[in-house]
Structure 1
Amino acid sequence: MIMFTCSAQHAAVNHGQYDIYAWMPNGPTTMRQPPPKYKDQVTEKYIMNTLPLLDTTLEAMLISRLLSHVPKDFVPLGQYADHVANDPHMREPVKKFRNKLKAIGATIEKRAADQEFPYMYLHPDHMENSIAI
């Protein structure tokens, strides 16, 4: 459960934040008036008066960009320090785990090949061994 939470779940929740929230209507950080109760009340002016102001929007975009940015010290899932990967008791389990990750990655790449907007956030090569905040 710890490995899942610190790798796959974190990648699924974290890595796509900017892609989703860079367009403010996908997830406005604030709304300046309540949402309409009826569809026929919605006008462009109502929407513009409801969405956050430009400075608030830019701050939210910056935060989502920083949170979803891949760090320079990124360590992919399945990559371990030499003393772990070369330990005689760990060598085979690590090799087996890496092979499973490669197979999962190949499946994801195959599915993504014909998609206009592929979901690559859970590709093992794009997941970290742990949460790096």
Structure 2
Amino acid sequence: MEALPEDLIRRGMTVRRDDGELELTIEDYPYANDGLLVWDAIKHWALTYVEHYYPCTADIVDDEELQAWWMEVRTKGHADKQDEPWWPELDDHENLAQALATIMWVTSAHHAAVNFGQYPMAGYIPNRPTLTRRNMPTEMGADDMRAFVEAPEKVLLDTFPSQYQAAIVLAILDLLSSHSSDEEYMGTHEEPSWKQDGAIRQAFEEFKERTREIVEQVDNWNSDPDRKNRHGAGMVPYVLLRPSDGDPTDEKMVMEMGIPNSISI
């Protein structure tokens, strides 16, 4: 489980400048472009929440229930990794907010990015076949290569999953890529307790406003002809990390229905 900035840095997709800001190594990288906007909104919301309920760092350190939870995460949830040096201590606002934001990111936006594009991207079996029923021809096998040259479509169809196998895969992908009818989306669900606390309610309203700004930015990028990885002939607009700016059931396709609050399968 990894925060988005650390994930991008580890994969060489971004570097952290001397001023602390991130600089993408590939400027037109939709997952990173949109994801960092969502990550920043989540992190700011988490930090504001933490600072409100834990005015002093000592309050965090002295919270026995919180510390016991974090110990369980390390020693029970990730027993095989419990002694790794990268585990942070929950001893200040930043570390606690970072831990919470990471959990929120992985179970909401990151999951949306890897899950809801499955059917749109793999529903056309040749685009991402799930298995091959025969070896692809190579120059070492003269007969196989000759058959491929003479009838490439037949060889490919014999290699791809059968119609029966493809139908099963499509049904599963459609199920995995579907949203629940009672889905709760990021930035649209307000806990009753927040309404009783003016500061938290204001912070949540600011979080909602940031998600609306992300929607506008994503739409602008998707209509920008200079962004070749999300606009133009043969390209599908990148909307997997586009928050819902209204009723998700009004959206046109499953990929742009919004980011669920938590993992939804």
**Which TM class, normalised by the smaller chain length?**
0.7 to 0.9
Choose which of 101, 105, 112 in structure 1 pairs with 2:215.
105
- Tell me whether 1:29 sits opposite 2:130 in the alignment: yes
Q: Which residue of 2 aligns with 1:62?
A: 171
Choose which of 32, 45, 56 in structure 1 pairs with 2:154.
45
User: How many residue pairs were aligned?
Assistant: 132
Q: Which residue type is aligned with residue 63 of structure 1?
A: I
- Asked if the contact 1:22–1:64 (Cα under 8 Å) also holds between the matched residues in 2, the reply is yes
Q: Which residue type is aligned with residue 78 of structure 1?
A: G
Identity %: 30
TM-score by length of 2: 0.46
- Asked if the contact 2:194–2:200 (Cα under 8 Å) also holds between the matched residues in 1, the reply is yes
Higher-Rg structure is 2
CA distance in 1, matches of 2:215, 2:190: 22
Give unpaired runs (5+ residues) of structure 2. Answer: 1-101, 225-230, 245-257
Instruction: Answer 1 or 2: higher relative contact order, Cα 8 Å, separation at least 6.
Output: 1
TM-score by length of 1: 0.88
- Tell me whether 1:17 sits opposite 2:118 in the alignment: yes
Give unpaired runs (5+ residues) of structure 1. Answer: none
Q: What CA deviation, in whole Å up to 9, does each residue of 1:55-114 have, x standing for no partner?
A: 100111111111101210111102234414313142122112111111111101122236
Choose which of 180, 198, 205 in structure 2 pairs with 1:95.
205
Q: What CA deviation, in whole Å up to 9, does each residue of 1:23-80 have, x standing for no partner?
A: 1112212210122335x93422221110111010011111111110121011110223
| Structure 1 ranges of 4+ moved more than 3 A | 113-116
Q: Which residue of 1 aligns with 2:185?
A: 76
The range that moved more, 54-63 or 82-91, is 82-91
- Asked if the contact 1:84–1:90 (Cα under 8 Å) also holds between the matched residues in 2, the reply is no
Q: Which residue type is aligned with residue 29 of structure 1?
A: T
SS in 1 for 2:210: helix
- Asked if the contact 1:77–1:128 (Cα under 8 Å) also holds between the matched residues in 2, the reply is yes
- Tell me whether 1:132 sits opposite 2:264 in the alignment: yes
Q: Which residue of 1 aligns with 2:105?
A: 4
Choose which of 208, 213, 238 in structure 2 pairs with 1:119.
238
Q: Which residue of 1 aligns with 2:8?
A: none
CA distance in 2, matches of 1:87, 1:27: 50
The range that moved more, 109-118 or 22-31, is 109-118
- Asked if the contact 2:179–2:264 (Cα under 8 Å) also holds between the matched residues in 1, the reply is no
- Asked if the contact 2:242–2:259 (Cα under 8 Å) also holds between the matched residues in 1, the reply is yes
Structure 1 residues 81 and 95: alpha-carbon distance in aligned structure 2, compared to 1, 3 A threshold: closer
